[in-house]
Amino acid sequence: MNTKMFYAYKNDNSIDKISLKNASQILVSGELVAFPTETVYGLGVDAYSTNIYKVFQAKGRPQDNPLICHVGDIGDVKLCGHPSKLADKIFKLFSPGPVTVIIDKNDKISSDVTGGLSTVGVRIPENEVAREFIKMCGVPVAAPSANTSKRPSPTRACDVLEDMQGKISAIIDGGVCSVGIESTVVDARGEFPIILREGKITKADFLKHFDRCEIAGKSDDKVRSPGVKYQHYSPKVDMFVHFGENELLIKDFINQNMSKNIALCGETLFVSNFEKLDNISIHDMGKTEEEFMHNYYFSLRDTEKVSDMIIMQMPFESEGLKNRCTKSCGEKFI
Protein backbone atom coordinates (compact mmCIF):
# COMPACT_ATOMS: atom_id res chain seq x y z
CA MET A 1 0.00 0.00 0.00
CA ASN A 2 1.21 3.47 -0.87
CA THR A 3 0.90 5.84 2.11
CA LYS A 4 -0.15 9.25 0.81
CA MET A 5 1.02 12.42 2.62
CA PHE A 6 -1.36 15.38 2.91
CA TYR A 7 -0.23 18.78 4.19
CA ALA A 8 -2.62 20.47 6.61
CA TYR A 9 -1.36 24.00 6.08
CA LYS A 10 -0.79 26.11 2.98
CA ASN A 11 2.30 28.29 2.55
CA ASP A 12 0.50 31.24 4.14
CA ASN A 13 -0.19 29.06 7.26
CA SER A 14 -3.93 28.85 6.63
CA ILE A 15 -5.56 25.40 6.75
CA ASP A 16 -5.62 23.64 3.38
CA LYS A 17 -9.28 22.59 3.36
CA ILE A 18 -9.01 20.80 0.03
CA SER A 19 -6.19 18.67 1.39
CA LEU A 20 -8.22 17.80 4.51
CA LYS A 21 -11.32 17.09 2.42
CA ASN A 22 -9.36 14.63 0.26
CA ALA A 23 -8.01 12.91 3.37
CA SER A 24 -11.50 12.74 4.92
CA GLN A 25 -12.86 11.07 1.78
CA ILE A 26 -10.23 8.35 2.13
CA LEU A 27 -11.31 7.74 5.74
CA VAL A 28 -15.01 7.69 4.86
CA SER A 29 -14.27 5.17 2.07
CA GLY A 30 -13.12 2.75 4.79
CA GLU A 31 -9.37 3.35 4.95
CA LEU A 32 -7.05 4.44 7.77
CA VAL A 33 -5.88 8.06 7.93
CA ALA A 34 -3.44 9.37 10.56
CA PHE A 35 -4.08 12.95 11.72
CA PRO A 36 -2.48 15.43 14.13
CA THR A 37 -4.03 16.37 17.47
CA GLU A 38 -2.58 18.58 20.23
CA THR A 39 -1.54 15.47 22.21
CA VAL A 40 -0.15 12.91 19.73
CA TYR A 41 -1.02 11.80 16.18
CA GLY A 42 -4.10 9.56 15.96
CA LEU A 43 -4.69 6.63 13.61
CA GLY A 44 -8.23 7.33 12.44
CA VAL A 45 -10.97 5.03 11.18
CA ASP A 46 -14.72 5.61 10.71
CA ALA A 47 -16.07 4.63 14.15
CA TYR A 48 -19.38 3.47 12.64
CA SER A 49 -17.74 1.18 10.07
CA THR A 50 -16.81 -2.49 10.02
CA ASN A 51 -13.17 -1.57 9.38
CA ILE A 52 -12.10 -1.19 13.00
CA TYR A 53 -10.00 -4.35 12.75
CA LYS A 54 -7.66 -2.55 10.31
CA VAL A 55 -6.45 -0.30 13.15
CA PHE A 56 -5.60 -3.25 15.38
CA GLN A 57 -3.81 -4.93 12.46
CA ALA A 58 -1.75 -1.86 11.51
CA LYS A 59 -0.66 -1.25 15.13
CA GLY A 60 -0.32 -4.85 16.27
CA ARG A 61 -2.59 -3.87 19.16
CA PRO A 62 -4.34 -6.33 21.53
CA GLN A 63 -8.07 -6.60 20.64
CA ASP A 64 -9.29 -5.88 24.17
CA ASN A 65 -7.70 -2.42 24.29
CA PRO A 66 -10.49 0.04 23.38
CA LEU A 67 -10.19 2.97 20.97
CA ILE A 68 -11.11 6.57 21.77
CA CYS A 69 -13.80 8.20 19.60
CA HIS A 70 -13.06 11.73 18.43
CA VAL A 71 -15.78 14.27 17.61
CA GLY A 72 -15.65 17.88 16.38
CA ASP A 73 -17.62 19.61 19.13
CA ILE A 74 -19.57 19.08 22.35
CA GLY A 75 -22.88 18.72 20.52
CA ASP A 76 -21.54 15.60 18.78
CA VAL A 77 -20.70 13.64 21.95
CA LYS A 78 -24.16 12.06 21.67
CA LEU A 79 -23.07 10.43 18.39
CA CYS A 80 -21.02 8.06 20.55
CA GLY A 81 -22.86 7.65 23.85
CA HIS A 82 -24.91 8.97 26.74
CA PRO A 83 -22.99 11.53 28.80
CA SER A 84 -23.85 11.78 32.50
CA LYS A 85 -24.23 15.21 34.16
CA LEU A 86 -20.68 14.83 35.40
CA ALA A 87 -19.44 14.09 31.85
CA ASP A 88 -21.26 17.16 30.50
CA LYS A 89 -19.56 19.30 33.13
CA ILE A 90 -16.11 17.87 32.33
CA PHE A 91 -16.62 18.46 28.60
CA LYS A 92 -17.72 22.04 29.27
CA LEU A 93 -14.71 22.71 31.50
CA PHE A 94 -11.90 21.00 29.58
CA SER A 95 -13.00 20.49 25.96
CA PRO A 96 -11.88 21.02 23.33
CA GLY A 97 -8.65 19.86 24.93
CA PRO A 98 -6.40 16.99 25.99
CA VAL A 99 -9.02 15.01 27.92
CA THR A 100 -10.94 11.81 27.09
CA VAL A 101 -14.20 11.23 28.94
CA ILE A 102 -15.58 7.72 29.55
CA ILE A 103 -19.37 7.50 29.16
CA ASP A 104 -21.90 4.74 28.42
CA LYS A 105 -21.73 3.91 24.70
CA ASN A 106 -24.70 3.99 22.33
CA ASP A 107 -25.70 1.24 19.87
CA LYS A 108 -23.98 2.85 16.89
CA ILE A 109 -20.55 2.31 18.44
CA SER A 110 -19.68 -1.36 18.05
CA SER A 111 -17.94 -3.48 20.64
CA ASP A 112 -14.99 -3.72 18.18
CA VAL A 113 -14.29 -0.06 19.04
CA THR A 114 -14.68 -0.50 22.79
CA GLY A 115 -12.88 -3.81 23.20
CA GLY A 116 -16.14 -5.41 24.35
CA LEU A 117 -16.87 -2.75 27.00
CA SER A 118 -20.28 -1.07 27.36
CA THR A 119 -18.49 2.29 27.73
CA VAL A 120 -16.74 4.54 25.24
CA GLY A 121 -14.01 7.17 25.58
CA VAL A 122 -14.90 10.42 23.79
CA ARG A 123 -12.49 13.23 23.02
CA ILE A 124 -12.81 16.63 21.34
CA PRO A 125 -9.31 17.66 20.28
CA GLU A 126 -8.25 21.28 20.57
CA ASN A 127 -6.07 21.10 17.46
CA GLU A 128 -7.86 23.02 14.68
CA VAL A 129 -6.71 20.63 11.95
CA ALA A 130 -8.05 17.66 13.91
CA ARG A 131 -11.45 19.24 14.47
CA GLU A 132 -11.78 20.46 10.87
CA PHE A 133 -10.83 16.99 9.61
CA ILE A 134 -13.25 15.18 11.96
CA LYS A 135 -16.13 17.49 10.98
CA MET A 136 -15.42 16.83 7.30
CA CYS A 137 -15.54 13.08 7.96
CA GLY A 138 -19.13 13.50 9.23
CA VAL A 139 -18.80 10.52 11.58
CA PRO A 140 -17.01 9.99 14.91
CA VAL A 141 -13.39 9.07 14.23
CA ALA A 142 -12.06 6.19 16.33
CA ALA A 143 -8.33 6.63 16.81
CA PRO A 144 -5.60 5.25 18.99
CA SER A 145 -2.16 6.85 18.92
CA ALA A 146 -0.65 6.26 15.44
CA ASN A 147 2.39 4.26 16.58
CA THR A 148 3.14 0.56 16.38
CA SER A 149 1.99 -0.98 19.68
CA LYS A 150 4.63 -0.59 22.47
CA ARG A 151 6.58 2.13 20.57
CA PRO A 152 6.79 5.79 21.64
CA SER A 153 3.70 7.70 20.51
CA PRO A 154 4.17 9.81 17.36
CA THR A 155 4.20 13.58 17.76
CA ARG A 156 5.40 14.38 14.22
CA ALA A 157 4.22 13.13 10.82
CA CYS A 158 7.67 11.58 10.21
CA ASP A 159 7.21 9.43 13.36
CA VAL A 160 3.90 8.13 12.01
CA LEU A 161 5.55 7.40 8.67
CA GLU A 162 8.34 5.49 10.41
CA ASP A 163 5.84 3.05 11.96
CA MET A 164 2.99 3.06 9.44
CA GLN A 165 4.48 3.44 5.96
CA GLY A 166 2.82 0.91 3.65
CA LYS A 167 0.29 -0.06 6.35
CA ILE A 168 -2.15 2.86 6.16
CA SER A 169 -3.61 4.91 3.29
CA ALA A 170 -2.76 8.44 4.36
CA ILE A 171 -1.12 10.77 6.86
CA ILE A 172 -2.08 14.41 7.43
CA ASP A 173 1.06 16.36 8.31
CA GLY A 174 0.09 19.13 10.73
CA GLY A 175 3.52 19.74 12.27
CA VAL A 176 4.64 18.89 15.79
CA CYS A 177 1.95 18.18 18.42
CA SER A 178 1.88 21.00 20.96
CA VAL A 179 1.18 19.06 24.19
CA GLY A 180 3.22 15.98 23.37
CA ILE A 181 1.74 13.27 25.63
CA GLU A 182 -1.62 11.51 25.37
CA SER A 183 -4.85 12.86 26.83
CA THR A 184 -5.96 12.45 30.43
CA VAL A 185 -8.55 9.63 30.45
CA VAL A 186 -11.29 10.20 33.02
CA ASP A 187 -14.23 8.00 33.97
CA ALA A 188 -17.29 10.26 34.35
CA ARG A 189 -20.00 7.70 35.06
CA GLY A 190 -20.03 8.03 38.84
CA GLU A 191 -20.36 10.80 41.41
CA PHE A 192 -16.88 12.25 40.87
CA PRO A 193 -14.15 12.03 38.20
CA ILE A 194 -11.81 9.03 38.32
CA ILE A 195 -8.58 9.46 36.36
CA LEU A 196 -7.64 6.28 34.46
CA ARG A 197 -4.62 7.68 32.61
CA GLU A 198 -2.76 10.80 33.66
CA GLY A 199 -1.96 13.55 31.17
CA LYS A 200 -1.52 17.30 30.99
CA ILE A 201 -4.84 17.86 32.78
CA THR A 202 -4.21 16.75 36.35
CA LYS A 203 -6.09 15.74 39.48
CA ALA A 204 -5.34 19.25 40.83
CA ASP A 205 -7.07 20.74 37.77
CA PHE A 206 -10.20 18.65 38.49
CA LEU A 207 -10.12 19.53 42.18
CA LYS A 208 -10.49 23.21 41.26
CA HIS A 209 -14.02 22.35 40.06
CA PHE A 210 -15.03 19.18 41.94
CA ASP A 211 -14.97 18.31 45.66
CA ARG A 212 -13.51 14.92 44.94
CA CYS A 213 -11.36 13.28 42.25
CA GLU A 214 -9.47 9.99 42.46
CA ILE A 215 -6.75 8.31 40.43
CA ALA A 216 -7.62 4.69 39.58
CA GLY A 217 -5.16 2.14 40.84
CA LYS A 218 -3.97 4.44 43.62
CA SER A 219 -7.02 4.19 45.89
CA ASP A 220 -8.00 0.66 44.76
CA ASP A 221 -5.90 -1.85 42.86
CA LYS A 222 -8.33 -2.55 40.05
CA VAL A 223 -6.99 -1.56 36.64
CA ARG A 224 -9.89 0.30 35.03
CA SER A 225 -8.37 1.36 31.72
CA PRO A 226 -7.41 -1.74 29.74
CA GLY A 227 -4.48 0.04 28.08
CA VAL A 228 -2.60 0.76 31.27
CA LYS A 229 -1.71 -2.90 31.84
CA TYR A 230 0.36 -3.19 28.65
CA GLN A 231 4.04 -2.38 28.08
CA HIS A 232 4.21 0.98 26.36
CA TYR A 233 6.10 3.87 24.82
CA SER A 234 9.50 2.13 24.65
CA PRO A 235 12.51 3.12 22.54
CA LYS A 236 14.49 0.40 20.73
CA VAL A 237 17.54 0.82 22.99
CA ASP A 238 18.00 0.33 26.74
CA MET A 239 16.58 3.25 28.74
CA PHE A 240 17.12 4.35 32.36
CA VAL A 241 15.27 7.11 34.20
CA HIS A 242 16.43 9.37 37.02
CA PHE A 243 13.65 11.25 38.83
CA GLY A 244 15.62 14.05 40.45
CA GLU A 245 18.73 16.18 40.05
CA ASN A 246 21.58 14.09 41.46
CA GLU A 247 24.49 14.93 39.18
CA LEU A 248 27.02 12.69 40.93
CA LEU A 249 24.76 9.68 40.70
CA ILE A 250 24.37 10.15 36.94
CA LYS A 251 28.13 10.73 36.46
CA ASP A 252 28.81 7.47 38.34
CA PHE A 253 26.30 5.62 36.20
CA ILE A 254 27.87 7.01 33.01
CA ASN A 255 31.32 5.95 34.23
CA GLN A 256 30.08 2.43 34.86
CA ASN A 257 28.80 2.29 31.27
CA MET A 258 31.80 3.72 29.42
CA SER A 259 31.54 1.10 26.69
CA LYS A 260 28.06 2.35 25.74
CA ASN A 261 27.14 5.08 23.34
CA ILE A 262 24.99 7.08 25.78
CA ALA A 263 22.36 9.76 25.05
CA LEU A 264 21.61 11.91 28.09
CA CYS A 265 18.21 13.65 27.93
CA GLY A 266 17.17 16.07 30.64
CA GLU A 267 16.37 19.52 31.89
CA THR A 268 18.40 22.35 30.30
CA LEU A 269 20.60 23.36 33.24
CA PHE A 270 21.07 19.81 34.47
CA VAL A 271 22.37 18.45 31.15
CA SER A 272 24.63 21.47 30.66
CA ASN A 273 26.74 20.06 33.53
CA PHE A 274 27.64 17.10 31.32
CA GLU A 275 28.79 18.99 28.24
CA LYS A 276 32.49 18.33 28.97
CA LEU A 277 32.11 14.55 28.91
CA ASP A 278 33.04 13.30 25.46
CA ASN A 279 31.51 9.83 25.47
CA ILE A 280 27.89 10.97 25.61
CA SER A 281 25.50 13.03 23.51
CA ILE A 282 23.39 15.66 25.27
CA HIS A 283 19.70 16.26 24.53
CA ASP A 284 18.15 19.34 26.05
CA MET A 285 14.48 18.63 26.96
CA GLY A 286 13.76 22.22 28.00
CA LYS A 287 13.39 24.29 31.13
CA THR A 288 9.72 23.72 31.96
CA GLU A 289 7.34 20.81 32.43
CA GLU A 290 5.44 21.88 29.29
CA GLU A 291 8.59 21.92 27.16
CA PHE A 292 9.64 18.54 28.54
CA MET A 293 6.24 17.04 27.68
CA HIS A 294 6.33 18.54 24.20
CA ASN A 295 9.82 17.12 23.54
CA TYR A 296 9.36 13.76 25.26
CA TYR A 297 8.29 11.25 22.61
CA PHE A 298 10.20 12.57 19.61
CA SER A 299 13.36 12.78 21.70
CA LEU A 300 13.07 9.03 22.35
CA ARG A 301 12.71 8.42 18.62
CA ASP A 302 15.62 10.74 17.76
CA THR A 303 18.03 9.47 20.42
CA GLU A 304 17.43 5.76 19.81
CA LYS A 305 18.93 6.33 16.35
CA VAL A 306 22.19 7.77 17.65
CA SER A 307 22.81 5.80 20.86
CA ASP A 308 22.62 2.36 22.40
CA MET A 309 21.56 3.61 25.84
CA ILE A 310 19.25 6.48 26.84
CA ILE A 311 19.43 8.14 30.25
CA MET A 312 16.39 10.33 30.93
CA GLN A 313 16.64 12.84 33.77
CA MET A 314 13.14 14.02 34.78
CA PRO A 315 12.94 16.56 37.62
CA PHE A 316 9.28 17.65 37.24
CA GLU A 317 6.21 16.79 39.34
CA SER A 318 3.88 15.92 36.43
CA GLU A 319 2.29 12.52 37.12
CA GLY A 320 1.63 12.17 33.38
CA LEU A 321 5.33 12.51 32.61
CA LYS A 322 6.38 10.26 35.49
CA ASN A 323 4.00 7.61 34.21
CA ARG A 324 5.33 7.80 30.60
CA CYS A 325 8.96 7.74 31.80
CA THR A 326 8.29 4.76 34.08
CA LYS A 327 6.71 2.78 31.25
CA SER A 328 9.20 3.75 28.54
CA CYS A 329 12.16 2.52 30.60
CA GLY A 330 10.43 -0.65 31.82
CA GLU A 331 10.91 0.59 35.43
CA LYS A 332 14.71 0.74 35.19
CA PHE A 333 15.63 3.63 37.49
CA ILE A 334 18.87 5.28 38.53
H/E run at residue 292: helix 289-303
Residue 329 CA to residue 238 CA, distance in Å, equals 7
Among 152, 180, 193, 227, binds ligand TXA (CB under 6 A): 227
Per the document, the length of the chain is 334
Q: Which is nearer to Mg ion, 177 or 263 (CB)?
A: 177
Chosen from ligand TXA, Mg ion, none, partner binding at 39 (C-beta under 5 to 8 Å by type): ligand TXA
323 near ligand TXA (CB under 6 A) = no
31 or 238: whose CB is closer to ligand TXA?
31
Is 100 or 145 the residue whose CB approaches Mg ion more closely?
145
Cβ contact 122:141 at 8 Å: no
- Rounded-to-integer distance, Cα 298 and Cα 10, Å: 24
The secondary element (H helix, E strand) that includes residue 262 is strand 262-266
* Residue whose CB is less far from Mg ion, 145 or 307: 145
Our finding on whether 196 is near ligand TXA (CB under 6 A) is yes
Please report, as a single letter, which amino acid is at residue 224.
R
Q: How far is the CB of 258 from ligand TXA (least distance, A)?
A: 37
Site for ligand TXA in 145-184 (CB under 6 A): 145, 182-183
Residues numbered 47 to 86 that lie near ligand TXA (CB under 6 A) are 65-68
CB of 251 vs ligand TXA, minimal distance in Å: 36
- Diameter of the chain measured on Cα atoms: 61
Distance, in Å, from the CA atom of 278 to the CA atom of 82, rounded to the nearest integer, reads 58
Size of the site for ligand TXA (CB under 6 A): 28
Q: What is the DSSP string of 119-182?
A: EEEEE----HHHHHHHHHHTS-EEE-BSS-TTSPPP-SHHHHHHHHTTTSSEEEE--S-SS-SP
Please choose which of ligand TXA, Mg ion, none residue 154 contacts, taking the beta carbon within 5 to 8 angstroms, the exact cut-off set by kind: none
Cα torsion for 189, 195, 199, 200, to the nearest 10°? 80
Q: Does 145 contact Mg ion by CB under 5 A? A: yes
d(CA 165, CA 236): 18
d(CA 223, CA 233): 18
Contact assessment for residue 308 and residue 238, using Cβ atoms and an 8 Å cutoff: yes
Instruction: Write each residue from 23 to 42 as x if it is in contact with ligand TXA (CB under 6 A), else as -, in one continuous string.
Output: --------------x-xx-x
Taking CB under 6 A as the rule, does residue 100 contact ligand TXA?
Answer: yes
Q: Which of 5, 228, 277, 334 binds ligand TXA (CB under 6 A)?
A: 228
Q: Taking CB under 6 A as the rule, does residue 127 contact ligand TXA?
A: no
Q: Fill in the amino acid letter for 27.
A: L
Considering the complex, state which of residue 150 and residue 260 has its C-beta at the smaller distance from ligand TXA: 150
Kindly indicate which of the ranges 77-85, 125-133, 141-149, 194-202 contains the residues binding Mg ion, using the contact rule CB under 5 A: 141-149
Of ligand TXA, Mg ion, none, which one sits near residue 117, judging by CB under 5 to 8 A according to partner kind? Answer: ligand TXA
CA 223 from centre of chain: 19
Query: Cα-flanking dihedrals φ and ψ of residue 254, to 5°?
Result: -65, -45
At its nearest, how many Å lie between Mg ion and the CB of residue 52? Answer: 16
Interaction of residue 226 with ligand TXA, rule CB under 6 A: yes
Q: Which does 68 bind (CB under 5 to 8 A by kind): ligand TXA, Mg ion, none?
A: ligand TXA
Residue 120 in contact with residue 81, Cβ under 8 Å? yes
Residues that bind ligand TXA (CB under 6 A): 37, 39-40, 42, 65-68, 100, 102, 114, 117, 119-121, 123, 143-145, 182-183, 185, 196-197, 225-228
Q: Which residues form the interface with Mg ion (CB under 5 A)?
A: 145
